[in-house]
Structure 1
Amino acid sequence: MEIKEFKTFEEQVTKLVEHGCEDIISKEYAINILKRINYYRLTAYFLPFRNEETQKYDSSKISLEKVYSIYQFDSELRLLLMAYIEDIELYFRTQVAYHHSEQYGALAYKDSENFNKFHKHDEFMENLEKELHYRRKDPVYRHHQSKYNGEFPLWVLVEFFSFGMTSKFYADSPNTVQSLIAKNLNIKTAQVRTYLEVAVVLRNYCAHYGRLYYRGFTKIPGQLPPFMTENVKIKNRLMAQLYALKQLYVDGNKWNNNFIPRLKDLFTKYQSSIHLHHLGFTSDWEVVLKK
């Protein structure tokens, strides 16, 4: 297997030009960007402008400055989304802890009988032990080890949950618990499960600096509006992902009057560089995403 050879920053600039990015302010400008952003990472933002046959960039549509601007937009977009995904994650931690404990007790999570038939209890407890071991220096962990002999009520334990664990706990909870939580959101339990899975994946992209711009997501929300499901360039792009977040976001006022205006402002800020259809956004996106 042939491995590509190492290239200096100067050689990377030459490679960009050879691939079609001829509009570069200066070599120094390009090298300054490449010193901060890995070449492989940066070139992913050229994908919308690449000819599938020649694999070269359309020099009439791009400049390094424009691509770097798209990269900056993507970074700001991730930070914006993380703030609202955090609200969803903390809300669901609270909800699963409250309703499961109310129905079955503070330590009921230790018994597989208090979950549904899809629950893999040994795997759950093993993952739980790993999280607790990882947090063993946390003051909350130490407090419960010394004062409560290592027993953690669920409402304490969820503070050690990853978003993935929270999502799985909801999906594995008895229908009575799922229904109580779904009722507050005015959607069905199955929708909550699938939307949570989408939110978890999106959160991981944001947390690990994954590209959102021109990305085709493999985890697609269920129960999308017909115009989304009928168009693959919409249903597997970011707009559909945000539709799932909307359904999970309990504070409609904050979503409509804070998130949507901030998203709109971000689009306006970068309007000379970005193309909303690369994110799967339609002209009426504000209406679609409004709660």
Structure 2
Amino acid sequence: MAEYAKPHLTHQQQLAQLVDRGLSCHDEAAAIELLKTVGYYRLSAYIYPFRELLPSGSDRHSSGPRRSDSIRDGISFEHIEALWRFDRKLRLVCLDAIETVETGLRSRLAYVLGLRDHLGHVHRESLDADACSRPVGPGGRHRDQDAFEHWLTKYEALEYEARNEDYVVHHKRKYDGHMPIWIAVEFFDFGALSRLFALLNKHDQNAIAKDVGVRGGPLLAAWLRDVNYVRNLCAHHSRFWNRQPTYKPGKFNPAQVGSALVHAAQMEPRHKIYVHLAVLGYLVRGLDPRQNWPLTLRTLIKKFPSVPDISPERDMGFPRGWSDLPLWTMKSP
């Protein structure tokens, strides 16, 4: 394995290297400011699609196409900045939608599980036996725990982190210290919500799913895992616009959803982010029909930057004619 030997470059040297590789630049001062603000390595992810492809078979260690350092003609630093700024807006818009999903899911999960058992989140018998007994996995520090024990470890850590919150302090002073689900959900992160939903009694899962327009709790459980993945990407400011997600949404039966999402049930490709965005838009409408988030996303995507040879259809998986689909055109009541 070779030792890393690339030298440290000043911002001026970084820009000079990009220009030498073929990236045109019309405002050197603005380009250097962006390099200072964003960083060379992060911006490189937005340059990568414009690097020239190497001949097939030039790298026997790679299973996919490889790219040279040379950047295609006609690509400027301004194109790269516009793409980066678009991606930043896309992440912020998605986080807005995820807030609606998270808040709505908290409310519904607390209501449905609380009806069964106000401490159902810490009582194995109030959850699904098969889901709770599922092994966590072969490796890691939780390898000897089943899914319920793993969840309980997570829950106890979240409760400890929230120990100084006023509502937690008040409850523990006045009552026996055990947090009913409608209080506990307030210190859950999205990962905890999706993990607990996956452990729910199937009747409870289905009741929540039905309330948001999904026929089948397991489908909603899978979507929540996917939304949590998108949430982590956006919250950590990762490149998102043309990402090939680690978690690809599975195909589903069109009869499981309302008409607005039927087009995404079996569509291809699923290795790009369109289906994730469509599911997110559908969940927002189901959880809060007053929200116009799908129209907000539609407006943003319609403003996709004018950069040669890339588009939402080609690089993000948007289907032809997507902007006329009911999901993206319906206004809230």
Q: Same fold (TM over 0.5)?
A: yes
Aligned residue for 1:68, secondary structure, equals helix
Q: Where does the alignment leave 5 or more consecutive residues of structure 2 unmatched?
A: 55-66, 133-146, 253-261
List per-residue Cα deviations over 1:208-264 (Å, max 9, x = no partner).
Answer: 111112111121112356888564xx3121211112213423157445xx2233223
CA contact (8 A) 1:198 1:244 kept: no
Whole-angstrom distance in 2 between the partners of 1:122 and 1:156: 21
- Displacement of 1:145 after TM fit? 2.0
Whole-angstrom distance in 2 between the partners of 1:144 and 1:204: 31
CA contact (8 A) 2:90 2:241 kept: no
How many aligned residue pairs are there?
A: 285
Percent of aligned positions with the same letter in both sequences? 28
Correspondence 1:90 to 2:103: yes
The 5 A counterparts of 1:91-240 are: 91-103=104-116, 105-116=117-128, 117-119=130-132, 120-187=147-214, 188-223=216-251, 231=268, 234-240=269-275
CA contact (8 A) 2:83 2:305 kept: no
Counterpart residue type for residue 125 of structure 1: L
Whole-angstrom distance in 1 between the partners of 2:79 and 2:118: 54
CA contact (8 A) 1:49 1:62 kept: yes
Which residue, 275, 279, 282 being the options, matches 2:311?
A: 275
TM-score w.r.t. the length of structure 1 is 0.90
Aligned residue for 2:131, secondary structure, equals coil
CA contact (8 A) 2:101 2:287 kept: no
Aligned residue for 1:283, secondary structure, equals coil
TM-score w.r.t. the length of structure 2 is 0.79
C-alpha change, 1:197 and 1:61, in structure 2 (3 Å) is: farther
The 5 A counterparts of 1:234-273 are: 234-249=269-284, 250-251=286-287, 253-254=289-290, 258-273=292-307
Aligned residue for 2:85, secondary structure, equals helix
Counterpart residue type for residue 151 of structure 2: F
Whole-angstrom distance in 1 between the partners of 2:296 and 2:264: 25
Q: Where does the alignment leave 5 or more consecutive residues of structure 1 unmatched?
A: none
Whole-angstrom distance in 2 between the partners of 1:272 and 1:82: 24
- Displacement of 1:168 after TM fit? 1.2
C-alpha change, 1:122 and 1:251, in structure 2 (3 Å) is: closer
C-alpha change, 1:158 and 1:92, in structure 2 (3 Å) is: same
C-alpha change, 1:14 and 1:186, in structure 2 (3 Å) is: same
The structure in which a higher percent of residues are helix is 1
Aligned residue for 2:251, secondary structure, equals coil
List per-residue Cα deviations over 1:117-147 (Å, max 9, x = no partner).
Answer: 2222221111111112212221112112211
Aligned residue for 1:47, secondary structure, equals helix
Counterpart residue type for residue 275 of structure 2: A
Aligned residue for 2:53, secondary structure, equals coil
Whole-angstrom distance in 1 between the partners of 2:114 and 2:179: 12
CA contact (8 A) 2:198 2:221 kept: yes
Whole-angstrom distance in 1 between the partners of 2:170 and 2:110: 19
RMSD: 2.2
Counterpart residue type for residue 238 of structure 2: G
Larger relative contact order (Cα-Cα within 8 Å, sequence gap ≥ 6): 1
CA contact (8 A) 1:78 1:206 kept: yes
Aligned residue for 1:51, secondary structure, equals strand
CA contact (8 A) 1:214 1:237 kept: yes
- Displacement of 1:13 after TM fit? 0.8
C-alpha change, 1:51 and 1:59, in structure 2 (3 Å) is: closer
C-alpha change, 1:260 and 1:145, in structure 2 (3 Å) is: same
Partner of 1:19: 21
C-alpha change, 1:182 and 1:153, in structure 2 (3 Å) is: same
CA contact (8 A) 1:191 1:223 kept: no
CA contact (8 A) 1:191 1:222 kept: no
C-alpha change, 1:223 and 1:185, in structure 2 (3 Å) is: farther
Greater Cα offset, 260-269 or 84-93: 260-269
Partner of 2:257: none
